[in-house]
Chain A
Amino acid sequence: MNKLKQAWRNNWVGYLFLSPWLIGVLTLSAIPMLASLYLSFTSYDMFTPPKFIGLDNYATMFQDAKWRDSLRVTSMYVFLGVPLQLIFALAIALFLNRGISGLKFYRAIYYVPSLFGGSVAIALLWRQLFGSKGLVNSFLTTLGFETKNWIASPDTALYTLIVLMIWQFGSPMVIFLAGLKQVPIELYEASKIDGASKWKQFSRVTLPLITPVVFFNLVMQIIGAFQAFTSAYIISGGSGGPLNSTLFYTLYLYQKGFTHFQMGYASAMAWFLLLFIACATAILFITSKKWVYYQE
């Protein structure tokens, strides 16, 4: 007890300075999270008091075909989109790293999409671009290709969202750039003397040395992508259509909570997503021992 008192006396100023953040975390994150954990075990329509129903919400979830659809669509978006985005970001970073002039300018320009790529305005713009009378189609017509209704066809709608994600390559690119700058120049000189080709240099020197950065980007982008919402909400008009092809997990969660008045079920979905992301991240961490190389 005395020790505690002592600690408090020594540190209270520190906590005082922390308090704006602490209050935010408690009231805006921690408490709502606990509330949603409780709600996930209830039947709650937001009007009448929640009724405790145990694990029923979770049980219903696994039998809900639409829920499975949403999980499938989201996984597809994440596990196809994120690698493509990272490959693209790395390619641009490699290009910018060759010491071209005006690097700062390009870096800033390419970063811009990351800043407002998740906004409503961009989603609306995307809708126009890939619409039946959009820019993409008029471009294709000029080149003599078949046009298609990209947004409204179930077999292509998700890909337009993936392209939107790839387009927001700026923030991983900047991190890649920082990583590339850390690769010791001597290694390139040594490999050159040994007669390594450009490709060999990339695959044997650059890539292994930036694996920590690749890993970092991979984890961050995967976690972010699982929670994508705005693009699908705007582009599908809130429906997740056509034929659930853009029904992101968070979008379905939103529909359940706010359109179908099933906040208990929606909370259970949120907690499942948390666990799912946690597992995906854990798996990445475990496998990372095999392929991430830290220079000690």
Chain B
Amino acid sequence: MSKMMKSLMLYALSIIMLVTVAACSSNTPNDAANTTSTPKATNQNDPNQQNEQNDKKDEVEIRFTWWGDTTRNELYNAIVDRFEEEYPHIKVKREFGGWGDYWDRLTTQVAGGNAPDVVSMHQFYVSDYARRGALLDLSQVVDSGSLDLTNFPESAINSGRINDTLYMVPKGVTMPGWAYNTAVFDELGIDYPDMNWTWEDYAAKVTEIYEKSGGSLWGSVDGSGGQPQPNFRYFTRQHGQDLYTADGQIGFTEETLVKWWSMWDELRKKGAIPDAATGTEYENAPLEQNMFVTGLVAITQIPANQIYLYQQQFSEGEIRMVRMPTLAGGQNGEYIEGAYLSITEKSKHPEEAALFIDFFINSERSLELFKVEQGSPASTTMSEFVKPLLEPAQQRAVDFIQEVLPYATDAVYAPLGAAEIQQLFSDQASKIAFGQMSVEEAAKAFMTEAQAILQR
């Protein structure tokens, strides 16, 4: 036994040592790339003139990727099918995944040089890609006439520019705010929050909910940490600051950060918002299982386009939304948010990719399906077009976006290293929440470390 055991062991060991590093350095997300082949949707009998023109062209294949849930996947597949009907010479391969996996996969694909042609983009991440030269300057395809932005307001187009270069165009424009269910407020006999409430009003409302419910309901989710946008970003902008400055430095003062975390810390100590452990447990919960839907909190922060998704979860009451709390005597924090489309720099078919984006954001055939899926259409003609098609909850979203949009001002894009700073922000906030650090210590450490990250 002994000899055999020894040699067996050495053999097994040598294999394991060989594999160790390879395994470590290749921890790619193992989500099966949800690639569906495209159904052949060519409509040969259609005497459409466009089709006759297109039939003569060479067949081209482009790839389009997006994030979202099952409903959205069905919807976007249907839009892509319609595009293929309209342009029979272009085949569109589709790739999709949940929000987290989406970004991990996109990074890997871009790095590996096999990124899709048309990618869904977001403000949080665009600078990572744009500043590293992974995205195409869209003015090329706008000039060539493949992508028509004539019906887009200047502010919407500008929200897709980084350093004056157009890298993405909005599929939908949305605004964040705080949502509540009328039924919950009615039952407790509490007034609905005011559209233009302040942070003081907010704190008072949250405390009132907690007290009137006899402690069985938390006022709202804990907004101190997690992603610094939109909550903390609004707070800094209301102070005339921002997360970052235009030249890529930290854009807010330590004092603002201390104020922010102190506000949440007080609410937490009062019991008006969830304790750290509960908050952590629900941090990554899907919509159907989050604290608001399961009835643990009465108010939550969401983007307006999700109102109807939340409404679907409740049989009683109406999901309504108010502005992000404002700062008494401060400025407006609003800036345009949304979901965007970009073309990757290495795309072999930028013109066809542009035609696809054009169809997606400008055609009635696409928009009658899209409605307000990822926000209100940015094109003014199209947002008029979808209006009569909306469910009440979607209508409320559009109303909200239109009411809040005028407050929006320009916002700078994040510098390189923002992903790390975001992590740091979230880490420091949970250190406070778990009582491991005082607000002052955490803020001081944050400022030092964040500056070090940006200097690299």
- Where the two chains meet, the residues of A that have a C-beta atom closer than 8 Å to any C-beta of B are 25, 28-30, 32-33, 36, 45-48, 131-132, 149, 151-154, 179, 182, 212-213, 215-216, 219-220, 223, 227, 229, 237-239, 241-244, 250, 253-255, 257-261, 263, 266-267, 269-271, 273-274, 277-278, 281, 294-296
Contact B25 A267 (CB under 8 A): yes
Residues from chain A with a CB closer than 8 A to the CB of B18 are 25, 29-30
Contact A277 B20 (CB under 8 A): yes
Q: 7 closest Cβ contacts across the A-B interface? A: A237-B284, A294-B2, A46-B111, A47-B132, A152-B281, A152-B280, A149-B277
Residue of A254, A260, A269 with most chain B CB atoms under a 10 A cut-off: A260
Residues from chain B with a CB closer than 8 A to the CB of A257 are 25, 27
B window 9-24: CB within 8 A of A: 9, 12-13, 16-24
Residues from chain A with a CB closer than 8 A to the CB of B19 are 29
Q: Check if B420 is an interface residue, CB within 8 A of chain A.
A: yes
Instruction: Identify which of B1, B17, B134, B284 contacts A278 (C-beta below 8 A).
Output: B17
A to B CB contacts below 8 Å, 20 in the list: A33-B25, A46-B110, A216-B9, A223-B13, A223-B16, A227-B23, A242-B430, A243-B427, A253-B24, A254-B27, A258-B107, A259-B104, A259-B419, A260-B423, A267-B25, A270-B25, A273-B24, A274-B17, A294-B6, A295-B1
Which residue of B is nearest A134, CB measured? B281
Contact B276 A242 (CB under 8 A): yes
Provide the main secondary structure of the chain B interface: helix
Contact A45 B132 (CB under 8 A): yes
A83 CB to nearest chain B CB (Å): 18
Which residue of A is nearest B28, CB measured? A258
Residues from chain B with a CB closer than 8 A to the CB of A131 are 281
Residues from chain B with a CB closer than 8 A to the CB of A213 are 5
Contact B25 A241 (CB under 8 A): no
Contact A261 B107 (CB under 8 A): yes
Residues from chain A with a CB closer than 8 A to the CB of B281 are 131-132, 149, 151-152
Residue of B23, B24, B419 with most chain A CB atoms under a 10 A cut-off: B24
Which residue of A is nearest B2, CB measured? A294
Q: CA of A220 to CA of B427 in the docked complex: distance in angstroms?
A: 34
A143 CB to nearest chain B CB (Å): 21
Q: CA of A253 to CA of B129 in the docked complex: distance in angstroms?
A: 21
B105 CB to nearest chain A CB (Å): 9
Contact A271 B21 (CB under 8 A): yes
Contact B277 A242 (CB under 8 A): yes
Instruction: Identify which of A152, A154, A219, A270 contacts B21 (C-beta below 8 A).
Output: A270
Q: Check if B108 is an interface residue, CB within 8 A of chain A.
A: yes
Q: Check if B100 is an interface residue, CB within 8 A of chain A.
A: yes
Q: Check if B436 is an interface residue, CB within 8 A of chain A.
A: yes
Q: Check if B278 is an interface residue, CB within 8 A of chain A.
A: yes
Q: CA of A90 to CA of B103 in the docked complex: distance in angstroms?
A: 44
Q: CA of A260 to CA of B132 in the docked complex: distance in angstroms?
A: 13
Contact B21 A243 (CB under 8 A): no
Residues from chain A with a CB closer than 8 A to the CB of B16 are 220, 223
Q: CA of A109 to CA of B430 in the docked complex: distance in angstroms?
A: 41
Contacts A46-B108, A257-B25 known; list 7 others, CB within 8 Å: A46-B111, A152-B277, A241-B280, A243-B434, A294-B2, A294-B5, A295-B1
Known: A212-B2, A258-B107. A253 touches B27 (CB 8 A): yes
Contact B6 A48 (CB under 8 A): no
Q: CA of A229 to CA of B103 in the docked complex: distance in angstroms?
A: 19
Residues from chain B with a CB closer than 8 A to the CB of A296 are 2
Q: CA of A179 to CA of B8 in the docked complex: distance in angstroms?
A: 14
Residues from chain A with a CB closer than 8 A to the CB of B63 are none
Contact B100 A238 (CB under 8 A): yes
Which residue of A is nearest B19, CB measured? A29
Contact A28 B22 (CB under 8 A): yes
Residues from chain B with a CB closer than 8 A to the CB of A216 are 5, 8-9
Q: CA of A110 to CA of B316 in the docked complex: distance in angstroms?
A: 48
Q: Check if B128 is an interface residue, CB within 8 A of chain A.
A: yes
Known: A227-B20, A281-B13. A132 touches B434 (CB 8 A): no
1/0 contact trace for B193-228 toward A, CB 8 Å? 000000000000000000000000000000000000
Residues from chain A with a CB closer than 8 A to the CB of B24 are 227, 250, 253, 269-270, 273-274
Q: Check if B189 is an interface residue, CB within 8 A of chain A.
A: no
Residues from chain A with a CB closer than 8 A to the CB of B111 are 46-47, 263
1/0 contact trace for B269-283 toward A, CB 8 Å? 000000011111101
Contact A212 B27 (CB under 8 A): no
Contact B2 A260 (CB under 8 A): no
Q: Check if B133 is an interface residue, CB within 8 A of chain A.
A: yes
Residues from chain A with a CB closer than 8 A to the CB of B419 are 259-261
Residues from chain A with a CB closer than 8 A to the CB of B21 are 33, 36, 270-271, 273-274
Q: Check if B45 is an interface residue, CB within 8 A of chain A.
A: no
Which residue of A is nearest B5, CB measured? A212
Residues from chain B with a CB closer than 8 A to the CB of A278 are 17
Contact A212 B6 (CB under 8 A): yes
Which residue of B is nearest A213, CB measured? B5
Contact A32 B26 (CB under 8 A): yes
1/0 contact trace for B281-303 toward A, CB 8 Å? 10110000000000000000000
Contact B278 A149 (CB under 8 A): yes
Which residue of A is nearest B418, CB measured? A260
B33 CB to nearest chain A CB (Å): 15
Instruction: Identify which of A30, A242, A281 contacts B434 (C-beta below 8 A).
Output: A242
Residues from chain A with a CB closer than 8 A to the CB of B132 are 45, 47-48, 261
Q: CA of A158 to CA of B423 in the docked complex: distance in angstroms?
A: 20
Which residue of B is nearest A230, CB measured? B30
Q: CA of A105 to CA of B9 in the docked complex: distance in angstroms?
A: 27
Which residue of A is nearest B17, CB measured? A278
Q: Check if B431 is an interface residue, CB within 8 A of chain A.
A: yes
B86 CB to nearest chain A CB (Å): 34
Residues from chain B with a CB closer than 8 A to the CB of A238 are 100, 284
Residues from chain B with a CB closer than 8 A to the CB of A33 are 21-22, 25
Q: CA of A156 to CA of B344 in the docked complex: distance in angstroms?
A: 44
Contact B9 A266 (CB under 8 A): no
B window 82-133: CB within 8 A of A: 100, 103-104, 107-108, 110-111, 128-129, 132-133
A84 CB to nearest chain B CB (Å): 21
Known: A182-B1, A259-B104. A274 touches B20 (CB 8 A): yes
